[in-house]
Amino acid sequence: MKLKLTLWLLGVLLKRALRRKPRFREQLERMRGLDWGIATEDLSIARHYRMTPKSVTTGKGLPVDLDLELRFRDQDTALKVLKKPTQQAFLDGMMNGSVRLVGDSADMNKLQKLLKYL
């Protein structure tokens, strides 16, 4: 339940940043949008985010057309990494097999740059 709430709250923060933070909008315009999602490996909890310079939409599940997916071994691992989303935390998770990146790692770098402005 905590992970579902955290992912929903992330969507609220993204929408708020788009409205209130010009640096966030500028970065998103340079990227020309990003579609990404977060889920547990068994897909019991999954949420996707579609971001454009004009809007941020979010929904349950992981559509097949996403640019980037972050898959976590379980809810506890996801919460641990998402509470402190540093590049080192993601790298450590990928090395020990608790985090899996589906998509281009360049999109992951774009996402991390964007999330700095939340």
| CATH number for 97 | 3.30.1050.10
User: Quick count: other Cβ atoms within 10 Å of Cβ 110?
Assistant: 19
Check whether 13 has a pLDDT greater than 90. yes
Check whether 78 has a pLDDT greater than 80. yes
Calculated CA dihedral for residues 109, 110, 116, 118, nearest 10 degrees: -140
The domain tally of the chain equals 1
C-alpha 36/C-alpha 65 separation (Å) is 9
Percent of all residues in the chain with a pLDDT value above 90, rounded to a whole number: 71
What does the pLDDT look like over 17-53, one tens digit per residue?
999 999 999 999 998 889 999 999 999 999 999 999 9
Q: What is the mean pLDDT of the chain?
A: 92
Check whether 110 has a pLDDT greater than 80. yes
Beta bridge partners of 49: 36, 58
Check whether 1 has a pLDDT greater than 80. no
Nearest to 47 by CA among 112, 56, 55: 56
Nearest to 34 by CA among 104, 111, 106: 111
Range of the domain at 93: 2-115
